[in-house]
Structure 1
Amino acid sequence: MTLTENDLALLAKKGISEKKVNEQIETFKEGIPFVQLEKAVTIGEGLSKFTPSEEKDLIQKFEASSTGLSLLKFVPASGAASRMFKALFNFLDAYDPKEESLEAYFERTDDKAMKAFSEGITDFAFYDLVKQRIAGKTSSKDEELYLFVKEMMSEDGLNYGFYPKGLLPFHNYGDHTATPFEEHLKEASVYAKTGNTAELHFTISEQHGDMFNAEFNAVSERVSKATETSFKVSYSYQKPSTDTIAVDMRNEPFRNSDGSVLFRPGGHGALIENLNEQDADIIFIKNIDNVTVPRFAGEVADSKKILAGVLLSVQEKAFAYAKSLDNDELTSSQLDEIKSFLENELNVRFSDNFAGFSIGEQIEVLKDKIDRPIRICGMVKNEGEPGGGPFWINDRKGNISLQIIESAQIDMDNAHQAAILKNSTHFNPVDLVCAVKNYKGEKYNLMNYIDTKQGFITGKTKEGRELKALELPGLWNGAMAFWNTIFVEVPSSTFNPVKTVNDLLRPAHQVK
């Protein structure tokens, strides 16, 4: 691959090395192999489910042990809302109130999404605001819906399609509406608070920075008063250095019409670098759109405390064993005890050769296995929602481990692999509690625990030309592949994402 002076200047500006570009192009040439599933994770086979009594103990463990620990809520929040409003954009393109009635439009198109939107319109948190803005401009009910949607979506209207999803009005409290950003503050006050302060970190798009600051200034006093909590909020952006090169169908750098090389954002896996810059004893990770209204908030908070209780319980043992591996002359039976802990509580698997290793070799293997970041991942029963799921996988070196795998990583032409996916019982709602320090209080370098072979190659088009794009291993997928992992079943009430605007009509987003 030959790079021009302009190409090299672009690399320097982004902070991307020529070596990294060459490695990415090699990845395109070699392709990324499908993940090899061993079996789906089920209760008792990699997935824990606790009794009410055990849950109560875990909540108490967290509440008693978290005093003095630094807690952080990490919220990926860079997504714009444009995909959420796809049905509304389509409606504006396809419907003209001067040409046909709404009834005729619905009959012609069978547009179920817009029918549901129109029938539930008064239940949206933004209803009063939009209605106010179009007051006196409409002459018929058909035109009113069109103008309502146009006011929401047009650049000279509210321009909701440009908004970050985290700043849209989700919930109507009567005297005010609340955004996901505000709901995350409230939620953090219940389980991610040290003393009277809750700390949150949002990863956002740089273009939305002023909007998030304005929202915090507008709501922080109200939320602080209601929750008796002060908030420390910080932001970061996806780094330009995590962009990946795009290639044409011959695996040559794809060039824009001006001759420049095309780079694309590397996906949410790029955020492992942002996470790596955070310094806290316990980090809760949850997506920006997964919030709910007060009547479900208690169950959500208890679920987070249960996950954190699991983390603190297992970490306590892991720290004690890691310390003894560093300091003590250990007997064979003590090593067996540590191995048993790793297998039964941290789901670690060992090679068949382990028993034949010398004591010294066994100690080194155990040190390597136990001295890693830990993540406790909530998993929800599979009820048809899209998303990745928990699986046992066999990697290219023959190691078996627990991973969160997306369907795009699975060879659906392989009947055995497709059957494992089909028979999986749980999926990933992105509900993680993480520990990123060792027993000495030193922070792990999270960049050392990424499986770089768990990225994605996807087909795209630009300027009418086909290209191939590379997504980095996902934040909770390959970017955490070499962490120690525990999966725990959590209630479906803790998972309330808003993928389309009509999801806001679900009970989890209706205050009344």
Structure 2
Amino acid sequence: MDSALKAQIEKQGMNPELVAQQINNFKNGFPFLTLTAPATPSDGIMVLSDFELERLMEEYPANAAGIEVVKFVPASGAASRMFKDLFSFLDGDGDISKSSFVQKFMNNIEKFAFYDDLNTVLQDQGSSINQALDSKDYKSILAALLDESGLGYGSLPKGLLRFHSYPDQRRTPAHEHMVEGIQYAVGIGNVVKIHFTVSPEHEEKFKAEIAKIKEPLEAAHGLKFEISYSQQKKTTDTIAVNTDNSPFTEEDGSILFRPAGHGALLENLNDISADLIFIKNIDNVVPDRLKPETKRYKMAIGGLLLEIQAKVFAALRSLDSGISEESIQSAKDVFSSVLGAKLPADFKSRSLSDQAEFLRTKLDRPIRVCGMVRNTGEPGGGPFWVLEEDGSQSLQILETAQINLDDPKSKEYFSAATHFNPVDLVCATRNYKGEAFDLLQYRDMKTGFITEKSKNGRDLKALELPGLWNGAMSDWNTIFVEVPLITFNPVKTVNDLLREEHQ
């Protein structure tokens, strides 16, 4: 990297060494991971019996009451993609016969939780939804919904849109996450801690929404909320390059850096101090009538993590007290039977001290339990067994781009996958001495995603950091648990809100 380029990168507050590595990634791409099998209910995915589910649920509240619990909700994305089809119609000729999506939206408009708010905007403009429908003035309805002069939904984050209607209120996802938090994220001191990652331009709006909700919920349930916020750090942005892998420069000569995807939120997660951290996307919420199943499985996977963590900690303390066949056998049992991981083929031939060092390194890591749902064709990473450089096998959540589908064996494993990741995680990020892990030390920087974009009519290549639940957690101890499909109800388009689960 020449000195002029290095100086410009430093001037923009970025690390030249990291940027050089990013440019290298553009040039060389990312290596595919070596799959050994899909994780399935018979090999890598736990299926809880009714007895185990009930036991974990019953034990969890008492165990959680004495620890710090945080609900971590990535909520920084704008909702603009939810309204892509509506924006296209708004920019088009207004012929509704060309868009079945807009037809469905208009035919069911009274079913949306934002209906009354939208009608009020139109009334302030001297019309109403019914008048606009009667006169086929669909564009005025969409303008009132999407534009800043109306509800401004086109530029708001998903967390602040009205998703669900109740007899006495209409709730946003931020509101639903608080209600859900009461059900399984009550920690020490009877406090519900929720952390939202938000965009800078939306933080004040989030705070205003939470302020309206917080005190009534606290009074109704006899507990306290602690709501915190963070923003994706600029230092996690990645350089954009031209198609020849040279830095992409703006018209003013500055180098373009772009947000590096949800993997950048690992730094935000690393700043959270807690014993147990639940992670769930902002748009995966349901009305109260469907929350019981979510509560059951969240409590169960939280309880399971605490149970597994206690066994891991005991094995590490046993190794601390002395290396012996007994302490190594105990650690092996936890690694193989409790965590379900697979030892290298040459493990038995190693010396006791080498075995102990291997097991200590493998056990003394952050732990996560990930809910997995049956694959019904939804996009999302899948659970697989992956061969590590040290010869062991680990459970990983992989995106399609990380799998070499030109390799017959990898393609076979990919096709045989039965489950996918609905972003339903609970994490433990402190070690057996009570110290916080540095999560940045447990990610795989050899994973990532390169995508093709454009800006101002010019093609560019963009780089995403290792995804938060795949490469960014690559070196965590991972347990997969099957959870019901009803616990996964994302809202990708506005018409998803018409699904029975959101009505």
Aligned match for 2:269, one of 272, 275, 278 = 275
* TM-score normalised by structure 2 residue count: 0.95
TM-score scaled by length of structure 1: 0.93
Match of 2:439 among 413, 433, 446: 446
Q: Find 1:171's aligned residue among 142, 164, 167.
A: 164
Match for 1:133 among 121, 124, 127?
121
SS in 2 for 1:432: strand
Q: Which residue of 1 aligns with 2:69?
A: 71
Residue 250 (1) aligns with residue 238 (2): no
> 1:157-215 CA deviation, whole Å, 9 max, x = no partner?
21111101101011111332110001111111111112321001111101111101111
Whether the 8 Å contact between 2:249 and 2:256 is mirrored in structure 1 is yes
Question: Could you tell me which amino acid in structure 2 is paired with residue 314 of structure 1?
Answer: I
How far 1:231 sits from its partner (Å)? 0.6
| Cα distance in structure 2, aligned partners of 1:243 and 1:494 | 32
2:1 matched to 1:4? no
CA distance in 2, matches of 1:114, 1:211: 28
8 A Cα contact 2:132 2:141, kept in partner: no
Distance 1:338 1:396, change over 3 A: closer
Alpha-carbon RMSD across the aligned residues, in angstroms, is 1.7
1:151 touches 1:158 (CA, 8 Å); kept in 2?
yes
Q: Which amino acid aligns with 1:121?
A: I
Distance 1:22 1:399 in 2: 31
Residue of 47, 50, 53 corresponding to 1:52:
50
CA contact (8 A) 2:70 2:274 kept: yes
Q: Find the aligned partners of 1:392 and 1:354 in 2 and give their Cα distance.
A: 18
Does 2:229 align with 1:231? Answer: no
CA displacement, residues 33-86 of structure 1 (integer Å, 9 cap, x when unaligned)? 222322211102000001111101111221232221110000101010000111
Give yes or no for contact 1:71–1:282 (8 Å, CA) kept in 2: yes
Aligned to 2:254: 260
Q: What is residue 310 of structure 2 aligned with on the other side?
A: 316
Letter in 1 for 2:7: L
Alignment-derived partner of residue 380 in structure 2: 387
* Secondary structure at the counterpart of residue 136 of structure 2: helix
| Contact 1:348-1:369 at 8 Å conserved across structures | no
1:396 is displaced (CA, Å) by 5.5
Which amino acid counterpart does residue 49 of structure 1 have in structure 2? V
For each residue in 1:359-398, what CA deviation from the matched residue of structure 2 results, as whole angstroms up to 9, or x when unmatched? 1111111110110010000001111111111111224565
| Aligned residue number for residue 108 of structure 2 | 120
Encode CA deviations 1:211-258: one digit per residue, 9 max, x unaligned: 011111111122223333221000000001000011112211111122
1:155 shift after superposition: 2.5
CA distance in 2 between counterparts of 1:213 and 1:91 reads 33
Structure 2: distance between partners of 1:381 and 1:222: 37
After TM superposition, give the deviation of residue 486 of structure 1 in Å: 0.1
- How far apart in 2 are the matches of 1:44 and 1:30? 37
Post-superposition CA distance 1:274-319 (Å, at most 9, x none): 0001110001000111111011111111110000111011111111
Residues 108-156 of structure 1 deviation map (CA, whole Å, 9 limit, x = unaligned): x2x2222221222111000111112213434652534332111111222
1:326 aligns with 2:320: yes
Q: Which residue of 2 aligns with 1:429?
A: 422
Question: Could you tell me how far apart the structure 1 residues matched to 2:109 and 2:309 are?
Answer: 48
1:23 has 2:18 as partner: no
Q: Is the 8 A contact 1:347 1:484 kept in 2?
A: no
Of 462, 485, 489, which aligns to 2:482?
Answer: 489
Identify if the C-alpha distance between structure 1 residues 429 and 409 changes in structure 2 by more than 3 Å, giving closer, same or farther.
Answer: same
Aligned letter for 1:247?
A: V
Q: How many residues matched?
A: 497
Q: SS at 1:43's partner residue?
A: coil
Gaps of 5+ in 1: none
Q: Unpaired runs of 5+ in structure 2?
A: none
Cα distance change of structure 1 residues 325 and 397 upon mapping to structure 2, 3 Å threshold:
closer
Query: How far is the alpha carbon of 1:343 from its aligned partner?
Result: 1.1
**Alignment partner, residue 143 of structure 1:** 136
* In structure 2, C-alpha distance between the alignment counterparts of 1:13 and 1:259, rounded to whole Å: 12
Is the 1:291–1:497 contact (alpha carbons within 8 Å) kept by the matching residues of 2?
A: yes
Amino acid at match of 2:438: N
Q: CA deviation at 1:421?
A: 2.0
- The code of the aligned residue for 1:24 comes to Q
Aligned-partner SS, 2:345: coil
Which secondary structure state, in structure 1, belongs to the residue aligned with residue 31 of structure 2? coil
Which of 260-269 and 395-404 deviates more? 395-404
Q: Could you tell which deviates more after superposition, 250-259 or 367-376? A: 250-259
Equivalent runs, 1:354-365 vs 2, <5 Å: 354-365=347-358
Please state if 1:305 is matched with 2:303: no
Residue pairs, 1:399-410, within 5 angstroms: 399-410=392-403
2:191 equivalent to 1:197 = yes
